[in-house]
Amino acid sequence: MARNWMDYKTDAWVQWCPACGNFGILTALQRALAELDLPNEKVSIVSGIGCSSRIPYYIKTSNVHTLHGRPIPVAQGIKLANPDQVVIVASGDGDLLGIGAGHFVAIGRRNIDIKVILHDNAVYGLTKGQAAPTLPLWFKTKALGQPNIQSAVNPLLLAFASGYTFIARAYAYHIDQLKEMIEAAIRHKGTSLIDVLQPCPTYNDIMTKEWYEKRIYYLDKEDPSWNPNIEKPEDVKKIPKIVEKMMEWEPRIPLGVFYRNTMVEPLDVRIEKIMPGYLQNPPARRSIDIGGRALTNPFVAFKDRIVTT
Amino acid sequence: MSENVDLDVMIGGPQGGGIESSGQMALRVFMIKGYDVFGIREYHSDIIGAHSYYNVRVKAQKPRSVRLPVDALLALDAETIFTHYNDLAPESYLIYGTESLNTRIDGIAPMDHDTKERVKEDLKQKGVEPVASEVVKYLASTGVKTVGLPFKDLLKVTAERLKTTVVSVSKTVNTMSITALAAMLGIDLGAVEKSIQLYFAGRKGIVDSNVEAARTTYEYIKDNYGVSKPLPDGPHRNKVRMIATGNDIVAMAKIVGGVTLETYYPITPSQDEAFYMETHRVFDLDEEASRSLGQSKTGTLVLQAEDELAALNMAIGGALAGARVATTTSGPGLSLMNEAISFAVITETPVVISVWMRTGPSTGIATRQGQQDLLHAMFAGHGEALPKIVLASGDHLEAYYDTIKALNWAEKFQVPVIHLLDKYMAASMMSFDMEDVDPYKVPLERGKLVPNPDPKTYKRYELTDDGISPRAPLGTVQYIVSSLEHNEYGVVTEDPVIREKMSLKRLKKMETIEREIPESEKAVLYGDPDSRITIVSWGSTKGPILDAMGSLAKEGLRLRFLQIKTFLPFPTSTVKKIIESSDDVIAVENNAFGQMVMAVRMFTGLNINKRIAKLNSRSLMEQEIYNGVKKALSMKEGLVVVSDGA
Ligand SMILES: Cc1ncc(C[n+]2csc(CCOP(=O)(O)OP(=O)(O)O)c2C)c(N)n1
Ligand code: SF4
Ligand SMILES: [Mg+2]
């Protein structure tokens, strides 16, 4: 029997403010997992620290709530050790683009098959509303002591420059569309970003529901010929258009899948090339001993250090 | 009699100028002659040109340290002569290239300004002009046998014999120097040729030109200096042996010990460990494993992370998924890993962190020796990051077995293990035999790892009598892992009763660790157990201490030496018993503040009031302990700073 989204619900009380955009992300994620009928223990949702990072308690899968900024490394450790696990990072914009920005970049270089869901509320919700790296210059949301004098980073361009092979933007209140994007990301084999515009009614009093809904539109609705797929060498001709769309922000904010490149080898394929047998016997599963006995001897395995006297 | 052979040979030259290959070849020449060797490399953090040297000790049975003065100095450039002319024993050999003779000290650009001034002052007092030829003359006048090699002529002859150009054989000058040394020490040309074949294995052109260079040089020495008394064969001829650095041997132990995922961010002096694992990521299984697994090879995945934050957090992720994991770093990287160590503690995740200490604070002197991260390791991690294990190895072979034990302990107790090693071990090489690295001696244990848990009853953080819960890999059963305080299921909680229970669980686990790791693994006593003079130390000072104790015993001064191996758990009762039954206790450490002494005081309430410290960032040598102990014994209390090494 196929799974239902209720199968991914836990009985924990959801600790978010009323109308928080995180609710939409939670529901969309549960529905996407149900749609793909993934066994609960075979999915790991890995988060950092922040309001959004409490999501692992609300989805009944094998999750890890890590440190502030470190969900991406922990997620990669899981995936490297067990390539069969479906690994999703769900974390805040401060977590992923501030304290954890180095990892956000490095994961792209690997094209490891991990989906990054960026809860983009442009503020630090949990620490009471400071500016996140996605808050635009000069915005003064209500908890700030002074206007924001630092410019916003563009998560899509950063992901593109870093080598992510699936890049999308969604809106937290549009659950159906977000669910579809999550499913598409999980189906894509490679590092994926979904930047989810997530209203924070408590601290972001500028980028509200009304503010977003005046600006957002879907790439494929506006232009039915929109095709983000890079599947063959000629498709790179699409890239200037894709980048142009990634840069668009005011007065209109495009949503949808911007980029899906299936020509870049994912990390597990690369590893298999330099270490044959990896996929069949990955680090989490390969035997390390036979009843406590080591599998090799230095004089068998490390002949380059032998000196015959 | 080979038992009486005890040689120390130094090879110095510009970094990148073949010092490494010269040292490696020298080590092999002596091994081929049947000796045990211990070699250590001192090098500059600059990549190229700066002065670097190899010190090689040769004995019939396991030398553990190097010493000054040396019995031979092989100077590949003038800077070596200026840096080490005070390090030569009477009757020793100085082998140098005649081209360096005209060099004045002021003309040596890479030489440190302060060093130059100090050398000039010293030479002035000796009445020697600061030009290499004068220093050589001075040395000859003190009884040093000086051997000048006319490299240009020797290269020309070599090239003629090979019917090739001088340029194409110009890289053989290191081999020429080693050959001259061998000839002077009475080592046969055959041993040199064999070591060339071993070291340059498979590169026929290089082997041929080096062999020809060796022959040319050997003849030159014979013609000009006669034939030396032959060096007797050592006891280890006709054997299959190994030579490896500390970095290599820890890498070997990780692979043998079942690490399936190692992460790292490059930092001296740890990076060569990861490099060795990378080159051996696919390795041959022994016969029994091949038969039983039906395959001849398997692999260990090694990944270079973007920083140490990622390195440790990735390793933790791998461990959560069920892999046996490790990472490697040095002090600065350990700083960055602190938060994740705390994360490993609360999530009860097994991970081994090899920490190759170097000179601090801050970036300090990146390629030099230090033991300054002991308290850092013990206190690593915020918010009472306990239980964890801090283990320090004393030499290569200990480091091999300790690595395997550390991997076992990490999984058995579900804790991070910080394995302290240092630059001294990383950059030193020693010879050993198959039985010295027995892979089956320490059985691999994975503790309460449950591959197939019952989803209905499974509790990852179940409260148990020993504080250790069943560990199921992520992916086998649905549960949550949290960096926040959690209940038995891993679910976040702020409930005061559960919080208290979890604190007590961690405390209980530390007690289990203390109980289950035998006292013999925590501290080891060497020397005369009844002596009332005790050296207390930890880590790589072991070699120089044991070698010096041998020399002191010959003079009738019998000591005992307590090596502390684990600082968490601390061998409180042993340390107490030994200190209380001593009249004199001397602590030896490569740090200024006496970090081990502080730890001893913290756990036992006892003080150690005599200390020997080496602070100049160079490797501790046998004679420094020998002299330092004598000095410490003559004092009521205080600090003896030993300062040898250039
Ligand atoms: C090392 C460290 N520094 C600071 C904090 C405090 N802290 C917790 S959450 C957070 C910011 C969260 O913002 P974001 O990642 O955007 O998540 P949100 O709450 O907005 O979902 C900060 C700074 C921490 N937990 N750890
Ligand atoms: S503070 Fe903002 S992000 Fe956090 S739960 Fe409340 S609304 Fe959501
Ligand atoms: Mg945020």
Same fold, B244-436 and B519-642: yes
Question: pLDDT of A144-201, one tens digit each?
Answer: 999 999 999 999 999 999 999 999 999 999 999 999 999 999 999 999 999 999 999 9
Question: pLDDT of B520-535, one tens digit each?
Answer: 999 999 999 999 999 9
Q: Which residues of B touch A82 (CB under 8 A)?
A: 321-323, 473-475
- B377 touching chain A per CB within 8 A: no
Tell me what the pLDDT averaged over chain A comes to: 97
> CB within 8 A of B245, min separation 6: which ones?
B272, B396, B425, B426, B427, B428, B429
Q: What angle do CA B588, B589, B590 make, to 5 degrees?
A: 140
Q: Other CB atoms closer than 10 Å to residue B191's CB: what's the count?
A: 20
Q: What is the pLDDT of residue B564?
A: 98
Q: What is the pLDDT of residue B61?
A: 95
Q: What is the pLDDT of residue A288?
A: 98
B614, HSE (Cβ side, Cα atoms, 13 Å): 30
Shortest CB distance from A73 goes to which of B313, B431, B477?
A: B313
B residues 417-446 closer than 8 Å to A (CB): 431, 434, 437, 439-440, 443-446
- Cβ separation A298–B339 shorter than 8 A: no
For residue A201, the SS3 value is: coil
- Does ligand 1 have an atom closer than 6 angstroms to the CB of A95? yes
Ligand nearest to the CA of A95: 1
Q: Which residues of B touch A15 (CB under 8 A)?
A: none
Q: What is the pLDDT of residue B83?
A: 95
- Cβ separation B313–A66 shorter than 8 A: yes
Q: What is the pLDDT of residue B227?
A: 86
The full DSSP string for B100-168 is GGG-BGGG-TTS-HHHHHHHHHHHHHHT--SBHHHHHHHHHHTT-EEEEE-HHHHHHHHHHHHTS-HHH
With residue B552 as reference, give the H or E element that holds it. helix B542-554
Both tokens assigned to B292: 């039983």
Structure-derived torsion over alpha carbons of residues B137, B138, B142, B148, reported in degrees to the nearest 10: -30
Closest residue by Cα to atom 5, ligand 2, is A16
Distance CA B343, CA B341 (A): 5
- Cβ separation B258–A289 shorter than 8 A: yes
Q: What is the pLDDT of residue B323?
A: 98
- Cβ separation A82–B241 shorter than 8 A: no
Q: Where are the beta strands (DSSP E) in B294-425?
A: 297-299, 301-304, 325-329, 351-357, 389-392, 416-422
- Does ligand 1 have an atom closer than 6 angstroms to the CB of A92? yes
Q: Which residues of A touch B297 (CB under 8 A)?
A: 277
Question: pLDDT of A24-73, one tens digit each?
Answer: 999 999 999 999 999 999 999 999 999 999 999 999 999 999 999 999 99
B392 and B565 Cβ atoms separated by less than 8 Å: yes
Q: Other CB atoms closer than 10 Å to residue A161's CB: what's the count?
A: 12
Shortest CB distance from A298 goes to which of B305, B343, B439?
A: B439
Distance CA B225, CA A246 (A): 78
pLDDT at A278 over 70: yes
pLDDT at B509 over 90: yes
Mean pLDDT on B470-475: 98
Q: Which residues of B touch A56 (CB under 8 A)?
A: 480, 482
- A293 touching chain B per CB within 8 A: yes
B111 and B105 Cβ atoms separated by less than 8 Å: yes
Choosing from A17, A46, A49 the residue with most ligand 1 atoms within 8 A of its CB, the one to mutate for a pocket test is A49
The full DSSP string for B232-254 is PP-TT-S-EEEEEEHHHHHHHHH
A85 and B322 Cβ atoms separated by less than 8 Å: no
* Angle between helical axes of B331-347 and B308-320 (0-180°, round to 10): 30
> CB within 8 A of B469, min separation 6: which ones?
B348, B414, B448, B459, B460, B461, B462, B463, B488
Q: Report which DSSP code applies to B285.
A: P
Both tokens assigned to A200: 């924070």
Domain residues of chain B, as ranges?
2-224, 244-436, 448-517, 519-642
- A13 touching chain B per CB within 8 A: no
Measured in whole angstroms, the distance separating CA B65 from the mean position of its chain's CA atoms is 11
Q: What is the CA radius of gyration of chain B?
A: 27
Q: What is the pLDDT of residue A1?
A: 59
- Cβ separation B314–A41 shorter than 8 A: no
Question: pLDDT of B44-103, one tens digit each?
Answer: 876 777 899 999 999 999 999 999 999 999 999 999 999 999 999 999 999 999 999 999
- Cβ separation A278–B301 shorter than 8 A: yes
Which atom from ligand 1 is nearest to the alpha carbon of A121?
A: 20
The full DSSP string for A112-180 is -SEEEEEEE-SEETTTTSEEPTTSPTT---TT-SS---SPPP-HHHHHHHHT-SEEEEEETT-HHHHHH
Pocket-forming residues, ligand 2, beta carbon under 6 Å: A 16-17, 20, 22, 51, 121, 125, 200-203
- A63 touching chain B per CB within 8 A: yes
* Angle between helical axes of B204-225 and B173-185 (0-180°, round to 10): 40
Both tokens assigned to B467: 């504080």
- How far does the CA of residue B263 sit from the closest CA of chain A (Å)? 9
Question: pLDDT of B295-322, one tens digit each?
Answer: 999 999 999 999 999 999 999 999 999 9
Give the mutation candidate from B237, B241, B452, B474 for the A interface (greatest A CB count, under 10 A): B474
Question: pLDDT of B55-70, one tens digit each?
Answer: 999 999 999 999 999 9
In our burial notation (b when 16+ CB lie closer than 10 A, e otherwise), range A236-270 reads eeeeeebeebbeeeeeebbbbbbbbbeeeebbbee
Q: What is the pLDDT of residue A162?
A: 98
Closest residue by Cα to atom 6, ligand 2, is A17
Between the alpha carbon of residue A123 and those of residues A138, A205, B388, B552, the distances in Å are 14, 10, 36, 68
Report how far ligand 2's centroid is from the alpha carbon of A186 (Å): 26
B270, HSE (Cβ side, Cα atoms, 13 Å): 26
Interface A–B counts its CB contacts (< 8 A) at 270
Structure-derived torsion over alpha carbons of residues A56, A179, A184, A3, reported in degrees to the nearest 10: 70
Question: pLDDT of A241-259, one tens digit each?
Answer: 999 999 999 999 999 999 9
- A285 touching chain B per CB within 8 A: yes
Mean pLDDT on B498-512: 98
Closest residue by Cα to atom 2, ligand 2, is A200
Question: pLDDT of B391-425, one tens digit each?
Answer: 999 999 999 999 999 999 999 999 999 999 999 99
B75 and B45 Cβ atoms separated by less than 8 Å: no
Closest residue by Cα to atom 22, ligand 1, is A127
What's the one-letter identity of residue B197?
Q
Beta bridge partners of B264: B304, B328
Give residue B17's pLDDT band: very low, low, confident or very high (50, 70, 90). Answer: confident
The full DSSP string for B457-495 is T--TT---TTS---BPPBTTB---EESS-B-TTS-B---
B469, HSE (Cβ side, Cα atoms, 13 Å): 22
B residues 176-235 closer than 8 Å to A (CB): 198
pLDDT at B18 over 90: no
> Topology of B519-642 in CATH?
Rossmann fold (3.40.50)
- Cβ separation A74–B317 shorter than 8 A: yes
Beta bridge partners of A88: A45, A115
- What is the CATH architecture of B244-436? 3-Layer(aba) Sandwich (3.40)
- How far does the CA of residue A39 sit from the closest CA of chain B (Å)? 9
B2-224 classified as CATH 3.40.920.10: yes
B residues 456-475 closer than 8 Å to A (CB): 473-475
Both tokens assigned to B578: 């030994």
Cis peptide before B269 (omega within 30 of 0): yes
Instruction: Characterize the bridge pairing of strands A253-261 and A216-218.
Output: parallel
Phi and psi dihedrals of A40, rounded to 5? -55, -40
Instruction: Characterize the bridge pairing of strands B523-527 and B301-304.
Output: unpaired
For residue A259, the SS3 value is: strand
Q: Where are the beta strands (DSSP E) in B575-644?
A: 584-589, 610-614, 638-642
In our burial notation (b when 16+ CB lie closer than 10 A, e otherwise), range B558-588 reads ebbbbbbbbbbbbbbebbeebbeebebbbbb
- A83 touching chain B per CB within 8 A: no
- Does ligand 1 have an atom closer than 6 angstroms to the CB of A121? yes
pTM: 0.97
Q: Which residues of A touch B318 (CB under 8 A)?
A: 77-78, 80-81, 283-284
Which atom from ligand 2 is nearest to the alpha carbon of A119?
A: 3
Tell me what the pLDDT averaged over chain B comes to: 96
Q: Report which DSSP code applies to B359.
A: B
Choosing from A14, A202, A206, A208 the residue with most ligand 2 atoms within 8 A of its CB, the one to mutate for a pocket test is A202
Comparing B15-19, B126-130, B218-222, B598-602, which segment has the lowest mean pLDDT? B15-19
Both tokens assigned to B476: 């086998």
Both tokens assigned to B616: 């100049």
Report how far ligand 1's centroid is from the alpha carbon of A69 (Å): 8
Closest residue by Cα to atom 8, ligand 2, is A20
Tell me which residues have their CB within 5 A of the ion that is ligand 3.
A 92-94, 121, 132
Q: Which residues of B touch A63 (CB under 8 A)?
A: 480-481
Q: Report which DSSP code applies to A58.
A: T
How would you classify residue B12: left for phi > 0, otherwise alpha for psi between -120 and 50, otherwise beta? beta
For residue B414, the SS3 value is: coil
Evaluate the CA torsion angle B421, B542, B443, B469 in order and state its sign. Answer: negative
Domains defined for chain A, CATH in brackets: 5-270 (3.40.50.970)
Distance CA B257, CA B276 (A): 15
In our burial notation (b when 16+ CB lie closer than 10 A, e otherwise), range B377-395 reads bbebbeeebbbbbbbbbbb
> CB within 8 A of B297, min separation 6: which ones?
A277, B282, B283, B284, B285
Distance CA A263, CA A229 (A): 10
Between the alpha carbon of residue B618 and those of residues A306, B77, B358, B627, B645, the distances in Å are 29, 21, 10, 17, 6
- Tell me the helices (H) and strands (E) count for chain A, helix number first: 11, 14
The full DSSP string for B164-183 is S-HHHHGGGHHHHHHHHHHH
Beta bridge partners of B563: B524, B537
For residue B224, the SS3 value is: helix
Both tokens assigned to A274: 């330099």
For residue A227, the SS3 value is: coil
